[in-house]
Amino acid sequence: MARVLRGCVSFFLAVVCVTGSIACHASAPETSAAAFILMEAESGRILASRNETQERSIASTTKIMTCLVALEHSELTDQVTVRREHLREGSSMYLFEGETLTMEELLYGLMLPSGNDAAECIAAYCGGSGGSAQFVGWMNDKAKALGMEHTSFANPSGLDEQGHCSCALDMARLAAYAMQDPTFTRIVSTRTASVGSRTMTNHNKLLASYSGCIGLKTGYTGDAGRTLVTCAERGGMRLIAVTLHDGSDWADHTALYDYGFAACHRACGAKKGARYGQIEAGGAAVTAVAKESFFYPVLEGEALSARAALPETVALPVKKGQTLGELVIRCNGTEVGRVALVSAGNVEAPAKQAQKEKKKTPLAERLWNFFAA
């Protein structure tokens, strides 16, 4: 793309201003958390934070990654038999030795009542001959792939262990990624689920108390204190809140979401299929349209602007959907994204077009024109 943009013609296109519809909140609320973050999920924009890259124990919020890795390495219908070594301390779904459950049932036991026994059972099954150690290796591989630079997993449950840590920023990125998975979202948004004679209740109280909350995961250990990762969605905008070592986590998440949804608005910087420029090519006009839509969260007083970077000319023929350039989108002058600009349709070279028109002319008419000349 850099090559295409050299010597290009730029067209300033549009400004999307939303200051009229956003309530003013001068600053984010204070929290009692040792570290926290409020992030818009789609863009990754941080709306509020403190100590967001500080590495800390994260307790059972670990199970967000456990669930994701399990979904990648098993089928929901897999039959899993509980062994004695799976029965661990702490929170539990109360498995018993010799019991057989489906992977889906275990995942509900993992994410609703935060079963450490479910975590160990899942990890041992998915890890196969490599056992839980193999599974934890996959957890760390996934963390690396997601750019979680301050994260290291030592077990699938989140129990305190040397080298087991993350930070608020990494957990927010993990949550945003996880909530793109419909199966994951279905599980963590469920308030109660029955497995055999068990009725399991989701520990996430915000599912019932905060309008728009659609997940995620609670946690507590002596070292980590209270940890909480949640997700809420309103008006098409999805926010992620993470608090670490926070004794007032429910109130803090509520305050963070109230601030975020009031102070922030999801603005459109590009609309899929919309025209963003035209290139003259050999006497023909090639129309450039956005390949996809682009949205970005803006605060009061901010505006999105879009500038199309297109070459001065393009060689014909041009195919529909062919990349022509890109749309650079800025928020108050700072670049926040780019969208490919593609051809709206097929544009052929003039000679080929003339040849096509000639073929369309009836034979008798072409003979008459020939002899008349």
Residues with active-site annotation = 60, 63, 114
69: which residues sit within 8 A by CB, 6+ positions away? 126, 135, 138, 139, 142
Alpha-carbon gap, residue 93 to 91, rounded angstroms: 7
- Burial of residue 160 (CB within 10 Å: 0-12, 13-18, 19+) is middle
Phi, psi of 263 (to 5 degrees): -90, -15
Return left, alpha or beta for 125; rule: phi > 0 is left, psi -120 to 50 is alpha, else beta.
alpha
Element (H, E) at 354: helix 350-360
CA angle, residues 110, 116, 117, in degrees to nearest 5:
90
CA angle, residues 300, 269, 234, in degrees to nearest 5:
60
Phi, psi of 219 (to 5 degrees): -165, 155
